[in-house]
């Protein structure tokens, strides 16, 4: 999946547990789980930049929402989960430019990483982000 789905899912799970260590573990686990969901990735660097900026904007908005609702204590888990959720794709970005071997199980072929070229591949990510938003509403 793209960064916005990975980072927002990691942030949501991290906000639920509210502590950095379990947030990191959940973020990494959610990355593997989401890569297993049929989805559509992009291959152009410009799309990655737009995705990263949109991810940051969404995360900043969600963090502000947590603060506004007195949930500041969940922010360490939120940010650790967000970073861990998207961190495995750093090797994809590095690999794009340096052509290095990838090690994360859904990137090196150990686990499936199903791509769907139809709109379904986008909708699975939209639904993921919407479900993440529901987690914040019910915190
Ligand atoms: Zn990935």
The whole-number mean pLDDT for each consecutive block of 10 residues of the chain, a chain of 139 residues, reads 97 98 98 97 92 98 98 98 97 89 94 94 96 96
DSSP secondary structure string, the chain? --HHHHHHHHHHHHHHH-SHHHHHHHHHHHHHHHHHS-B-----HHHHHHHHHHHHHHHHHHHHHHHHTT-GGGHHHHHHHHHHHHGGGHHHHHHHHH-PPP-STTTTTSS---B--STHHHHHHHHHHHHHHHHHHT-
Q: Separation of 116 CA from ligand 1 center, angstroms?
A: 15
Q: Separation of 89 CA from ligand 1 center, angstroms?
A: 5
Write down the pTM of the prediction: 0.95
Q: Separation of 31 CA from ligand 1 center, angstroms?
A: 6
What is the span of the domain harbouring residue 33? 3-137
Number of domains in the chain: 1
User: What per-residue confidence (pLDDT) applies to 125?
Assistant: 96
């Amino acid at each position: 999946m793209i960064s916005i789905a990975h980072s927002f899912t990691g942030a949501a799970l991290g906000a639920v547990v509210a502590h950095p260590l379990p947030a990191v573990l959940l973020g990494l686990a959610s990355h593997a789980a989401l890569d297993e969901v049929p989805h559509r990735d992009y291959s152009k660097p410009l799309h990655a930049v737009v995705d990263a900026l949109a991810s940051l904007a969404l995360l900043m908005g969600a963090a502000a929402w947590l603060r506004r609702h007195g949930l500041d204590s969940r922010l360490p888990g939120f940010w650790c989960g967000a970073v861990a959720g998207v961190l495995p794709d750093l090797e994809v970005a590095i690999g794009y430019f340096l052509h290095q071997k990838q090690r994360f199980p859904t990137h090196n072929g150990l686990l499936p990483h199903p791509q769907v070229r139809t709109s379904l591949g986008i909708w699975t990510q939209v639904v993921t982000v919407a479900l993440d938003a529901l987690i914040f509403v019910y915190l």
